[in-house]
Amino acid sequence: MSIDILMPALSPTMEEGVLAKWHVAVGDTVKAGDVIAEIETDKATMEVEAVDEGVILALLVAAGTEGVKVNRVIAQLAGEGEVAPPPSPAAPVLPPRGEDLRPANPPPLGEGDREAVEGVGPSSDRIAASPLARRLARAAGIDLASLIGSGPHGRIIKRDIDGQAGRKPTPVQAAPTTASAPRQVQSLEELGIAPGSYDLIPLDGMGKTIARRMTESFRDIPHFPLSIDLELDALLEARARINAGLEASGVKVSVNDLIIRCAALALKRVPMANASYTPHGIAVHHHADIAVAVAIDGGLITPIIRAAETKGLAQIATEMKDLASRARARKLKPEEFQGGTFSISNLGMFGIKSFASIINEPQGAILSVGAGEKRAVVKGDSLAIATVMTVTLTCDHRVLNGTIGAQWLNEFKRLIEDPLMMLI
């Protein structure tokens, strides 16, 4: 009986993806853990590993196919007693979209076959895991019950075992629901725009996801902005001295790296600003996992500096440069852009003086950073010139009230204007 290879769910919110590339051909022999394909999600391009051992019997979805639903059969391995064709570079012949992609007249699955395909036995409490994953878990003394499988149907595979001793399952929150869906405009013509008077650029997966999530956030989260002006001259002087000291290492610290560091320290000093709303209560996070908005072709992604309060400026600069580079190439792993506790969006390099961002749920706040510019300021009873930057904190009022938001901004301002405070 042939073994189905299914379109995997590479993140908790993934519903479909693009099968970008096959790394195998019909007739190839694969082992569990071998990379067989590349899948593009709305955020990244990821490699898919084989769960079972066998010979590729059929590739049922062509490379480059968009909108492949999670759990759709994309390929098959020859089962016991089946003879696979010899390796061939020829592309598979695909039926029209929407038709059943399984071979004609497949025999029904018996209980034994179903267990072999799905890794689920007659007992409901049996853990679904590939044979290789079971062997590796036994050798490493890992309890399979402590892991979350990333294979088809939640099956535990090799990549879930590697380096995952002691990991505990993380609950996945259900998407928010609303009592009634908002009206959807189907075409511009119904709003009076003349046909043929515009060019339509279709939305890709990322564009659709951003549109949906930002609509839900702006509509469902009671949010409010708080703005404050910061003087940057001391920070810029400190940055110049830091980079002079790091010149031999090749690391260069940016203003954004300093902002990340100051934001993380401020979150540790005002813990209630580093929190998320849940239906069961307010979750106060142990670490400041700072998500930083990075513009990429077709959208935006927020790679995360984990536990930023524990890292020095050189480490933050190095990690941020690597994350931004791989973000633009859509090579980030889900854990590198999902699960932050606070976001930063910086449009200062474009000359934007001030703006307010939309909250990246489930985070409780996002900081919008404007451009630093020379402004007239009052010092004592005299006018002076200083480099000033306006930042705006958008707060989820269910988590941060005005007092907490103001406390965080004042702590952030103190760190920015007196960089030596970062050493305390």
Are 287 and 415 members of one domain?
yes
Asked if pLDDT for residue 111 goes beyond 80, the answer is no
User: Which band of pLDDT confidence, cut at 50, 70 and 90, is reported for residue 297?
Assistant: confident
Tell whether the model's pLDDT for residue 151 goes beyond 90: no
- 372 or 125, greater pLDDT: 372
Nearest Cα to Cα of residue 11 among 54, 49, 58, 44: 44
Q: Which residues, 6 or more positions from 139, have their beta carbon under 8 angstroms from its beta carbon?
A: none
CB 365 within 8 A of CB 395: yes
Predicted confidence at residue 113, as pLDDT, reads 34
Contact between residue 69 and residue 76 where contact means Cβ atoms under 8 Å apart:
no
pLDDT of residue 119: 35
- In order of 186, 302, 422, the CA distances from 260 in angstroms are 41, 13, 11
Give tens-digit pLDDT for 306-361: 999 999 999 999 999 999 999 988 888 888 998 899 999 999 999 999 999 999 99
User: Which of the four pLDDT bands, split at 50, 70 and 90, describes residue 93?
Assistant: very low
In tens, the pLDDT along 18-28 reads 898 999 999 99
What pLDDT score was predicted for residue 114?
A: 33
**Do 104 and 15 belong to one domain?**
yes
Of 273 and 4, which is predicted with more confidence? Answer: 273
Task: Pick the more confident residue, 139 or 274.
Answer: 274
Q: What's the structural domain count of the chain? A: 2
Exposure string (b/e) for 22-43, b if CB count within 10 Å is 16 or more? bebebebebebbeebbbbbbbb
Q: Which domain holds residue 120?
A: 3-161
- Looking up residue 31, the CATH number of its domain turns out to be 2.40.50.100
Q: In this structure, which amino acid lies at residue 362?
A: P
* Interatomic CA distance for residues 329 and 45, integer angstroms: 8
- Cα 358 from Cα 213, distance rounded (Å): 10
Task: State the CATH number of the domain containing residue 299.
Answer: 3.30.559.10
- The DSSP letter of residue 88 is B
Q: Are residues 258 and 146 in the same domain?
A: no
Whether 51 maps to a domain, the answer reads yes
Same domain, 84 and 229: no
What's the rounded Cα separation, in Å, for the pair 351 and 355? 11
- pLDDT digits 0-9 by tens, 52-83: 888 998 999 999 898 899 889 999 888 665 66
Q: Which of 305, 312, 302, 309 is nearest to 264 (CA)?
A: 309
- Does 9 share its domain with 122? yes
- pLDDT reported for residue 120: 32
Which residue in the list 23, 153, 287, 397 is annotated as catalytic?
397
The residue out of 161, 183, 205 marking a domain boundary is 161
| Same domain (yes/no): 230, 371 | yes
Last residue of a domain, one of 134, 161, 188: 161
- The verdict on 401 and 275 lying in the same domain is yes
What is the reported pLDDT for 277? 95
Q: Is residue 199 part of a domain?
A: no
Q: Report if residue 129 sits inside a domain.
A: yes
Task: Please indicate whether residue 223 is annotated as part of the active site.
Answer: no
pLDDT (average), residues 367-392: 95
Whether 398 shows a pLDDT value over 90: the answer reads yes
DSSP H or E run through 135: helix 131-140
Last residue of one domain, picked from the residues 161, 191, 210 = 161
Assess whether 147 and 265 both reside in one domain.
no
What SS3 state is found at 408?
helix
Query: Could you give phi then psi for residue 75, rounded to 5 degrees?
Result: -165, 170
